[in-house]
Amino acid sequence: MWQWFFRLGSPKWFYEMSGKWLPWLFVLMTALLSVGIVWALLYVPQDYQQGDTIRIMYVHVPVASISLACFPLMAVAGIITLVWKMKLADMVAKCAAPIGAWFTAVALATGAIWGQPIWGTWWAWDARLTSMLIQFFLLIGVIALRSAIESTDAAAKACALLSIVGAINVPIIKYSVEWWNTLHQPASNFSMAEDSPMGPEIWVPLVIMIFAVYCFFVISLILSTRNEILERERRSQWVVDLIADERTN
């Protein structure tokens, strides 16, 4: 029963399977992104208060919400590393940290650009913004911790622990807009109901963009995990053969 789980932990198996998934994910991402961006830029009606800045939401919200997936992912990978010592889990965790830092930084930057005309300020020490900034520093901390420890195994354990602790910040970010009185607005509820404040012409493109950015997150994570696999397994025969067979480019 557990066979699939341990096979999943085999870097070689993951390398081969992910090579098959990548083209499909790439096609899916390109299709979703093209539809989502054209819809957001051309067809979404202007907000009666915010005007055209409503279009910023279609980048900011997907990037910010997917940045929250990073710590839980690293924490789960950390638990797998600590309990089963699965090498692949640590490789994924290592690659997720810089990608998560990028997502968090872009979420903060797009939020600042949106905040300037709407709130009248680039930055405020509001609970949502501050907890996002903490997430950014935690990710930088995980990256620094890994590069500071020479031994791969010791670094894996230390980063796994820090990721598990750091994941506590995620529910704080998520519920910050409800627990504290913040400048940042709470999450909008959208539904199919007729009287819903947010009509489908607003939220359908948002859902498309969220899926598109999810695809992008998965693709970039797979791409860098594959590099990490080659790097760490460079002495095993299958990598040596793969490098010899690769077309010169």
| 128: contact with another protein by CB under 8 A | no
Whole-angstrom Cα Rg for the chain: 20
Residues 9-28 that bind another protein (CB under 8 A): none
Residue that has been written with the tokens 């940042």 in this structure: 184
Rounded to a whole number of angstroms, the minimum distance from the CB of residue 217 to another protein is: 9
Alpha-carbon gap, residue 44 to 187, rounded angstroms: 19
Of 150, 194, 195, 246, which one interacts with another protein (CB under 8 A)?
A: 246
Of 198, 234, 238, 241, which one interacts with another protein (CB under 8 A)?
A: 234
Alpha-carbon gap, residue 186 to 128, rounded angstroms: 10
| 199: contact with another protein by CB under 8 A | no
| 59: contact with another protein by CB under 8 A | yes
121-145 exposure pattern, b = at least 16 Cβ within 10 A, e = fewer? eeebebbbbbbbeebbebbeebbeb
- As beta bridge partners, residue 47 has 51
Q: How many CB atoms lie within 10 A of CB 43?
A: 9
185: left (phi over 0), alpha (psi -120 to 50) or beta: beta
| 31: contact with another protein by CB under 8 A | no
Rounded to a whole number of angstroms, the minimum distance from the CB of residue 63 to another protein is: 7
By C-beta, is 82 or 113 nearer to another protein?
Answer: 113
Alpha-carbon gap, residue 127 to 146, rounded angstroms: 29
Alpha-carbon gap, residue 141 to 132, rounded angstroms: 14
The residue range among 77-85, 111-119, 121-129, 138-146 that interacts with another protein, by the rule CB under 8 A, is 111-119
The residue range among 5-13, 47-55, 78-86, 162-170 that interacts with another protein, by the rule CB under 8 A, is 47-55
Applying CB under 8 A, which residues contact another protein?
A: 33, 37, 41-46, 51-53, 55-56, 59-60, 63, 99, 102, 106, 109-110, 113-114, 116-117, 201, 216, 219-220, 223-224, 226-227, 230-231, 234, 240, 243-244, 246, 249
